[in-house]
Structure 1
Amino acid sequence: MRRAMGTSLAAALLLTACGSGTDDPAPASAAGTATSSPEPSEASSPSASPAPTEPSSPQPSSPQPSPEPSSPSPAPDGPPFPDSTEPQTAKPSGDWDLQLVDVRTGVHDGFDRVVLEMSGTATPGWGVAWADRAVAEGSGEVVPLAGDHVLTISASGTAMPAAGSFEVPQRLGAAGGIAEVHVNGWFEGYTQVFAGVDGDERPFRVFTLTDPPRLVVDVAN
């Protein structure tokens, strides 16, 4: 009996000394790695260090302006040029109170321009067509004009010329393919201008501008 108790006591002591592998705490070194020691800090890890703030490409300090010509164009490009050389017409709007104050020409990339500048509140209408000769409204006289063909420009909505308006008749010299311009004058609400053009008849476009009222005629070259 005493021997059996001794055997049992020895076994119990042995179990206490060895313990169970599943219930024991982890060794100190392992516990320090897994739970007690902090994870490697972001500051000590090169990959986690805050990257210097550098944009991929230099950024402007202020918005870049849209490209613009160095000097303003005398007029916008206007409508597309037609494929034909047929006459073009449009009616005026508002009171027929326009006075011709200036006529000028200009050479541009792809076309030559004639501008009739006016004063008044109306928007001019027009009748523009090719002709073999410059024939004056009212009198029917043929006006001598340089160039192979004549582009007849008739601006409608114009009033009888008043003091200080553009002096007529008047001639302007060559501008690109335009050999000569003759400002003929006013007749019953229409102001007539002839543009003599070298070479064949070409497509042209007509449009108006405001502030001040202007009639613009571009001849393709």
Structure 2
Amino acid sequence: MKDVPLRTARSAAMAAALTACLAVAGCTANGEDLPQQEQQSEGTEEPPPLDEPTHEPLTTASKDQASTVEDEPEALPEASSESDEHEGEPAPAPDNEVLDVTEFSADPLQSEGFPDLLTEVPEGSQLLLEQVRVGVHEGYHRIVFDHAGAGAPGWSAEYVDEAVEPGSGFPLEMTSEAILYVGVVGLEPANASQEEGQLQVSEPIDPAGTVFSEIVTTFVHHGSASYYIGLDTVREYRISVWEHPEGPRLIIDVLV
């Protein structure tokens, strides 16, 4: 057996004794072991309760992301071709909705409070006919008289034997089997012709697949104008006025 040098043996013994003392000192400060949970908590911060705020900033979109979200329009319901070009009118009834034919009549009709206007024209404003257009809908055909200006005119309607100019009573040539007259009141200027901006239609129109064969509109006389609609026969109709930022719209629906 090979002898270990004395210096080396003593060093090893002293090192072992020192290690044992350190181990005892690390286990307890007063001779007792510390609980394992306390030892772990000294080196790790305990998380806050779930119902307390963490005080961290909320995640926000970048400038580019924010502008994309704000600029993206909401999806709108699909509209018919006529309402795409001209918003602010009663929408056609959905395919699964039954048309209420009780709203239609062949008798004379007039606006509420006629001959008063539905909405007064502001002082200094204009209200004249600007455009006439037609459209086809399920169960009825529509003709729209677009007016430029502010306010909403009053109206009366009935079937007549002939078309005449307002004031003079001079006959206007129309060859349709039936003529629906719509008298409009409250137009401004009170006396206006084509030169002043009142649309005057006197020629046959393209029916565009509708029952409307002719349309005649007159100049304004003392605030009133006459709109004549030629039809193939007497048909029931309904009338409404829809106010719009660009001007009111007089809408006539005719049953087919």
TM-score range, shorter chain: 0.5 to 0.7
Equivalent of residue 140 in structure 2, options 107, 111, 134: 111
TM-score normalized by structure 1? Answer: 0.61
Letter in 1 for 2:105: S
Per-residue Cα deviation, 1:26-68 (whole angstroms, up to 9, x for no partner): xxxxxxxxxxxxxxxxxxxxxxxxxxxxxxxxxxxxxxx7853
Please state if 1:155 is matched with 2:184. Answer: yes
Report the alpha carbon displacement of residue 184 of structure 1 after superposing the two structures with TM: 2.1
**2:220 — aligned with what?**
186
- Percent identical pairs in the alignment equals 26
Tell me, yes or no, if the aligned pair for 1:118 and 1:214 is still in contact at 8 Å. yes
Report the alpha carbon displacement of residue 164 of structure 1 after superposing the two structures with TM: 5.4
Letter in 1 for 2:79: P
**2:158 — aligned with what?**
129
**1:170 — aligned with what?**
202
Structure 2 unaligned runs (5+)?
Answer: 1-74, 93-98
Per-residue Cα deviation, 1:99-152 (whole angstroms, up to 9, x for no partner): 221122223222222211112221111111111221222121221213211000
Structure 2: distance between partners of 1:172 and 1:107: 18
TM-score normalized by structure 2? Answer: 0.54
Letter in 2 for 1:214: R
Query: In structure 2, the residue corresponding to 1:145 is in which secondary structure?
Result: coil
Structure 1: distance between partners of 2:105 and 2:144: 22
Equivalent of residue 106 in structure 2, options 85, 89, 94: 85
Structure 1 unaligned runs (5+)?
Answer: 1-64
Please state if 1:206 is matched with 2:236. Answer: no
Structure 2: distance between partners of 1:169 and 1:141: 16
* Aligned CA distance change for structure 1 residues 80 and 125 (closer, same or farther; 3 Å): farther
* Aligned CA distance change for structure 1 residues 106 and 166 (closer, same or farther; 3 Å): farther
Equivalent of residue 76 in structure 1, options 87, 90, 112: 90
Structure 1: distance between partners of 2:130 and 2:105: 31
Tell me, yes or no, if the aligned pair for 1:183 and 1:194 is still in contact at 8 Å. yes
Query: In structure 1, the residue corresponding to 2:220 is in which secondary structure?
Result: strand
**1:217 — aligned with what?**
252
Report the alpha carbon displacement of residue 218 of structure 1 after superposing the two structures with TM: 1.3
Q: Which structure has the highest strand share of the two? A: 1
Structure 2: distance between partners of 1:145 and 1:152: 12
Structure 1: distance between partners of 2:140 and 2:238: 10
Cα RMSD after superposing both structures: 2.7
Letter in 2 for 1:206: I
Number of residues of Structure 1 aligned to a counterpart in Structure 2: 157
Tell me, yes or no, if the aligned pair for 2:204 and 2:213 is still in contact at 8 Å. no
* Aligned CA distance change for structure 1 residues 68 and 145 (closer, same or farther; 3 Å): same
Query: In structure 2, the residue corresponding to 1:84 is in which secondary structure?
Result: coil
Structure 2: distance between partners of 1:133 and 1:205: 21
* Aligned CA distance change for structure 1 residues 80 and 208 (closer, same or farther; 3 Å): farther
Tell me whether 79-88 or 183-192 shows the greater mean CA deviation.
79-88
